[in-house]
């Protein structure tokens, strides 16, 4: 199995036009087999497609478990200053995620997480790109997953759905290119819009990052998300927050079809549903409310606070109408500076098995949460299996159920019944596999520095908050 790790895989390096700092990466790979050790190889590629390093870690990965390689200290043969992409190969099924971050221990912190891509496509969509938008900018790293050079076209749409910039770049086979919206003169300042990336014939993997100014901890938000290739008429969003410990969500729904459309959004908070209908969304255009702005939400949600979910469905769907979506979450007050983004899921992406390659509990101060949501009617019985290489606390199981009345489940990892008792005792860095019967599910995992649960490493400001979608075979 081959997994394409796009975005920017880095060992203490970053192009000067992008966020300042000496950025690094960590790569986590999970063995999806329940019985067979996974021998893996990670090939690192420079932007021009030349091989920078072939890394074959000893021992492989035990069945059902995961391993993380922090490049500056665990892949030391990779040249400092490397900026490129990677390919994970194995004889058994695997999944991978990559962190883009300032070095461990940085204060303020900045980190974003994206998933490895197993099925690259020739056309990829990005629902949110920015240039100078209240201090925010974005870039998208595009990886050519074929061995042959190809031209890649980036088309940028403004908030009204008008194409305002087209950029064509040749990308070498196995190479990558960073499309940096902040440097494009055709894109106006204070810009928010969407993007489409396409090649002549080469399958592409795309990761977009958008980021605040980073001048202090309060403006350190750094968001990563995977570009989306397949749209549908219904999208599931497993986590949205409104006035939740000073966190707010926003969503961006992009029309990737050929006809204008509207969508119905059904929010579910505390078992109560709140409907909303969008404005007309043109081809290429994105639309979406920010949960912290009451004028952008139904009046019935004025008093709503907490964590919920949503389903987005096209009104009067047909073959020419398709959507993709992302969800953002950040805190802009007390303390400000953290943010995440994840990709909405199609109903066809629901699965009876989800894998989360990296989940932590009081691991160098970092702890994770998991959210799982049904994508079809009916009751579901599920088991979440925590498993970490070399851990005496794993594997252990957590059982839960889902129903039409309660379609979502969440768990903060330190509260899982199989963790060690007592605060700051877990030191857990492993994977979680969710198996369900009765209904298919999708989900996300997040991770953040939680001084309130693990104070051994002091406190840190900035963005230590990262998130990624649960993966399937």
Bridge partners of residue 44, in order along the sequence: 53, 86
**Quick one: pLDDT at residue 332?**
83
Q: How many CB atoms lie within 10 A of CB 431?
A: 28
CATH fourth-level superfamily of 2-115: TM1070-like (2.60.290.11)
For residues 371 and 408, the answer to whether their CB atoms sit within 8 Å is: yes
Q: Spell out, as residue ranges, where the chain has pLDDT lower than 70.
A: 1, 6-17, 390-394, 421-425, 473
d(CA 24, CA 8): 9
Q: How far is CA 23 from the centre of its chain?
A: 18
For residues 102 and 23, the answer to whether their CB atoms sit within 8 Å is: yes
Q: If residue 71 lies in a helix (H) or strand (E), which one and from where to where? A: helix 71-74
CATH fourth-level superfamily of 234-343: TM1070-like (2.60.290.11)
**Quick one: pLDDT at residue 256?**
97
**Quick one: pLDDT at residue 3?**
73
For residues 25 and 66, the answer to whether their CB atoms sit within 8 Å is: no
Domain spanning 348-469, CATH class: mainly beta
Q: Which CATH number fits domain 123-211: 3.40.50.720, 2.60.290.11, 3.40.1410.10, 1.20.120.160?
A: 2.60.290.11
**Quick one: pLDDT at residue 15?**
42
d(CA 462, CA 183): 25
d(CA 248, CA 267): 14
Q: Residues of CATH 2.60.290.11 domain(s) within the chain? A: 2-115, 123-211, 234-343, 348-469
How far are the Cα atoms of 132, 269, 271, 379 from residue 405, in angstroms, in the given order?
A: 43, 11, 7, 9
**Quick one: pLDDT at residue 56?**
96
């Amino acid at each position: 199995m081959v997994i394409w790790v796009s975005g920017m895989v880095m060992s203490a390096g970053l192009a000067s036009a992008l966020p300042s700092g000496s950025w690094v990466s960590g790569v986590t790979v999970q063995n999806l087999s329940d019985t067979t050790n996974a021998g893996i190889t990670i090939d690192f590629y420079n932007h021009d497609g030349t091989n920078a390093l072939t890394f074959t870690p000893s021992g492989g990965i035990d069945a059902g478990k995961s391993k993380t390689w922090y490049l500056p200290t665990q892949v030391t043969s990779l040249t400092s200053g490397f900026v490129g992409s990677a390919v994970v190969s194995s004889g058994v099924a695997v999944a991978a995620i990559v962190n883009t971050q300032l070095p461990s221990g940085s204060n303020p912190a900045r980190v974003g997480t994206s998933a490895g891509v197993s099925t690259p496509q020739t056309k990829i969509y990005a629902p949110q790109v920015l240039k100078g938008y209240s201090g925010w900018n974005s870039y998208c790293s595009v990886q050519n997953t074929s061995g042959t050079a190809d031209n890649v076209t980036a088309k940028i749409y403004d908030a009204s759905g008008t194409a305002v910039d087209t950029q064509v770049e040749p990308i070498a086979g196995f190479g990558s290119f960073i499309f940096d919206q902040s440097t494009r003169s055709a894109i106006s300042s204070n810009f928010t819009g969407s993007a489409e990336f396409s090649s002549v014939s080469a399958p592409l993997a795309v990761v977009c990052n958008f980021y605040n100014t980073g001048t202090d901890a309060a403006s350190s938000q750094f968001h990563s998300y995977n570009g989306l290739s397949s749209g549908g008429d219904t999208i599931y969003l497993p986590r949205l927050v409104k006035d939740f410990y000073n966190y707010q969500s926003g969503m961006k729904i992009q029309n990737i079809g050929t006809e204008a459309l509207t969508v119905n959004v059904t929010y579910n908070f505390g078992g109560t549903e709140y409907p909303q209908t969008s404005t007309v969304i043109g081809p290429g255009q994105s639309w979406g409310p920010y949960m912290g702005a009451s004028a952008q939400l139904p009046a019935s949600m004025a008093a709503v606070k907490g964590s919920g979910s949503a389903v987005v469905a096209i009104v009067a769907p047909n073959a020419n109408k398709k959507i993709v979506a992302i969800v953002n979450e950040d805190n802009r007050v007390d303390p400000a500076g953290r943010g995440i983004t994840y990709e909405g899921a199609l109903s066809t992406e629901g699965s009876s098995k989800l894998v989360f390659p990296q989940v932590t509990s009081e691991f160098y101060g970092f702890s994770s949460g998991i959210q799982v949501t049904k994508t079809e009617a009916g009751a579901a019985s599920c088991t979440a299996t925590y498993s970490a290489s070399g851990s005496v606390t794993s594997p252990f199981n957590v059982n839960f159920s889902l129903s039409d009345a309660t379609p979502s489940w969440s768990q903060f990892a330190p509260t899982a019944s199989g963790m060690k008792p007592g605060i700051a005792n877990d030191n857990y860095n492993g994977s979680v596999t969710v198996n369900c019967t009765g209904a298919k599910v999708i989900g996300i995992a997040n991770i953040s520095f939680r001084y309130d649960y693990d104070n051994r490493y002091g406190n840190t400001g900035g963005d230590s908050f990262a998130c990624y979608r649960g993966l399937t075979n």
